[in-house]
Every structure is written in C-alpha cells, then in structure tokens.
Amino acid sequence: QVQLVESGGGLVQAGGSLRLSCVASERALSFYNMGWFRQAPGLEREFVAAIKWSGSSTRYADSVNGRFTISRDNAKNTVYLQMNSLKPEDTAVYYCAATQKLWNSVLTTTPKYDYWGQGTQVTVSS
C-alpha cells in the first residue's frame, strides 16, 4: 500500500507560480510511474501531467503544456509539479497518483492509477 501526501497548494494571483510536492510512504517509489490530476467543482477529475518511474519521460495535458513541469526525486520519494503562469481556470484540487502499469499504456486516465493522495487546493485569483 502506497500512501501519498500532497502539499504546496494555496492562493495565488493570475500569472504567479506554485510548486506542489507529493511525498510517498513507499521506499521503492522508483518502481512507480506517477501522475498529477486536478478536479474543479462540478467537473470530473482530469489529467495534468505524468512522469515515468525513471524520470526519463513526461507527458502533459495540452492545457498546461509549456506552463507546468513535472519532476521527481526518487531518493526523496517525492514528485513535484512546478506551475508557472497560473490562470484562474487552473483553480482546482490537485491530486498525485501512483501506478505500476507500463508507461506505454498512456497513463492519462484515472483508472490507470492505483494509489491516490488526499489532494491540495490551488486557487488562482484574477
């Protein structure tokens, strides 16, 4: 069982930046591909970014590509999401997730992930 804890959310003005962190209880986080998702009120949870277990590959949703960067430090059991040029439409609860499914299975949907954190709120004011 992998426990994930997100942090780093908060209130920021449009154009600002935040860095989210996700710390895993599992010592062998390097065995997991990791993803970030977000969910705004009344909407379904949507894919934001994913990173391969080795850190060698990443994937982004079109809506955040070029503004957000996902990274990981397996030695610290931590995955990050650097969010720049934030927009009001980025407001949501952000969740990190872990999966052992293969990277080439296109890990952009919620059923592909096995473990989830509790989420951290990001609010972007206009």
pLDDT in tens, 61-117: 999 999 999 999 999 999 999 999 999 999 999 999 999 988 887 899 999 999 999
Average pLDDT, the chain: 95
Distance of CA 106 to the CA centre of its chain: 15
Above 90 in pLDDT, residue 14? yes
The two beta strands, 92-99 and 78-83, are: unpaired
Element (H, E) at 93: strand 92-99
Q: Residue 53's closest CA among 33, 72, 29?
A: 33
Nearest Cα to Cα of residue 50 among 75, 17, 80, 5: 80
29 falls in which pLDDT band (50, 70, 90)? confident
The pLDDT value recorded for residue 105 is 79
